[in-house]
Structure 1
Amino acid sequence: MRLVRTLLIWPGLALAIVVPLTFAATSRYLAWRDPVYIAAGFAGIVALCLALVQPLLAGGWLPGLYLLRGRRVHRSMGVVLVAAVVVHVAGLWLTSPPDIVDALLLRSPTPFSLWGVGAMWALFAAALLAALRHRLSPRAWRIGHKSLVSIVVLGGVVHAMLIEGTMEATSKAVLCGLAIAATVAAVATPWLRARRRALGKE
């Protein structure tokens, strides 16, 4: 059973990430883009891929990684995710400062910018909360972290889906759907387990 799980999860995760990256790397839109813009775009795609990986790590659902080790990798990948978003925004700033200023000031006419900015600030807040974790109660940490990362994933998914660019539509939709499903599962599973334990004691 464990072997079957490994054979299903790791190749499935690899396909979910590699396929949209491959389509983006071969997109015809890249021919008209400068290197900085391309780097910024791919940093955003990497961030979207990590939105799928992170809840799987947090839930201990990747075979070969014990729960404790998975959570350590989860923290490391959180740093990579923040870095990817910073590169994404910084690269777009270098290519078009007025657009980024409008987005940050929430006056951009493009809805995808507003969703992206909301996800970005939620991500930074989640990172700050992680840095202050030992000063918070376990309950406050869980509620705060789960709420913020849910906003990050939802905002990031809507941001990506509204953009018509280098990512191929179907593979992007699959990646976004999996990220949403994994996040919902990671958020809901501990609550469901606690609920079952409580019902079992009654």
Structure 2
Amino acid sequence: MSRARMTLIWAALACALAVPIAAAAASPLLAWRDPIYIAAGFAGIVAMSLMLLQPLLMGRYLPGIPVRRYRQIHRGIGGILVASLVIHVAGLWITSPPDVIDALLFDSPTPFSTWGVIAMWAVFITGFLAMLRKPLRIRPGTWRIVHTALAAVIVVGSVVHAMQIEGTMETVSKSVLCALILIATVKVITDLRVWTILNRRAG
């Protein structure tokens, strides 16, 4: 791959990640928000942006990264994603405990809360299983199936959650980010052919 094309790919990725965050930072709604609420919101936006990197890393689509480093970076970003999500939920809990309790109990009047909680638990389960993968002796094929299924839940839940919220994220940049996440996820699932593992086991 030429250096110019490599630079273009990384520049496009940087824009896809940075523009939604920058647009949210310029939102006039921030003037009426509590600092803790703002921090919680931006932790969620950062987590959403990081989600675009995960399928790109799993599919080894990003140029200039040594093959052996892809999984290491994927795991590292996964840890940052979990931490961002914890900050997001903790900040919302501090600012409005009743709303968080309703969301966790799936009793919230806002549909986006339900999708967010579903995605949250899928993220936590993925992180938990990733840490215990070796002690539990989870086979690579089994892990790929489980990880892919959880990733699909995370992506769908997070995208619906983000799109239903009318908040600090700017609509166009948010929509583009969500579309890119969906496209990247579908592509990596297709390229990795996870269903072939299921077919072999079924046969």
Aligned to 2:159: 157
Cα drift, residue 5 of structure 1? 3.4
Identity among equivalent pairs (%): 57
Match of 2:168 among 166, 169, 179: 166
Residue 183 of structure 1 aligns with an amino acid whose one-letter code is T
Extract unaligned runs of 5+ from structure 1.
196-202
Distance 2:156 2:68 in 1: 26
Pick from 179, 190, 195: which aligns with 2:192? 190
Equivalent residue of 2:193, what SS?
A: helix
| Match of residue 199 from structure 1 | none
Post-superposition shift, 1:4? 4.1
Higher deviation after alignment, 123-132 or 82-91:
123-132
Q: Larger deviation: 62-71 or 34-43?
A: 62-71
Could you tell me the TM-score, scaled by structure 2's length?
0.92
Contact 1:122 1:152 in 2 (8 A): yes
- Measured in 1, the distance between the counterparts of 2:90 and 2:18 equals 24
Map of 1:67 onto structure 2: 67
Q: Is the 8 A contact 1:5 1:63 kept in 2?
A: no
What residue in structure 2 maps to residue 54 of structure 1?
A: 54
AA in 2 matched with 1:104: L
Tell me the secondary structure at the aligned position of residue 133 of structure 1.
coil
Q: Which residue of 2 is the match for residue 81 of structure 1?
A: 81
Q: Say if 2:163 is the partner of 1:125.
A: no
* Cα distance between partner residues in 1 of 2:181 and 2:46: 13
More displaced stretch, 159-168 vs 63-72: 63-72
Q: Distance in 1 between matches of 2:5 and 2:84?
A: 30
Task: Kindly report the root-mean-square deviation, in angstroms, between the aligned alpha carbons of the 2 structures.
Answer: 1.4
Q: Is residue 122–residue 149 contact of structure 1 (8 Å, CA) maintained in 2? A: yes
* Range moving further from structure 2, 13-22 or 84-93: 13-22
Between the aligned partners of 1:78 and 1:34, the Cα distance in structure 2 is: 28
Task: Please tell me whether the aligned partners of residues 60 and 66 of structure 1 are also in contact (alpha carbons under 8 angstroms).
Answer: no
What aligned pairs does 1:89-108 form with structure 2 within 5 A after superposition? 89-108=89-108
Provide the C-alpha distance between the structure 2 equivalents of 1:128 and 1:42, rounded to a whole number of angstroms.
24
- CA distances 1:93-113 after superposition (whole Å, capped 9, x unpaired): 000000000000000010000
Q: Number of residue pairs matched?
A: 194
Q: Distance in 2 between matches of 1:132 and 1:141?
A: 11
Unaligned runs of 5+ in 2: 198-203
Cα distance between partner residues in 1 of 2:149 and 2:10: 27
Give the alignment's TM-score, normalised by structure 1: 0.92
1:140 aligns with 2:142: yes
Match of 1:175 among 168, 174, 177: 177
- How far apart, CA to CA, are the structure 2 residues paired with 1:2 and 1:132? 40
Matched letter for residue 126 of structure 1: T
Aligned to 1:26: 26
Tell me which amino acid in the other structure corresponds to 1:187.
I
Please state whether the residue corresponding to 2:145 is helix, strand or coil: helix
Partner of 2:109 in structure 1?
109
Q: How far off is 1:28 after superposition?
A: 0.3
Give SS of 1:147's match. helix
Distance 2:166 2:109 in 1: 15
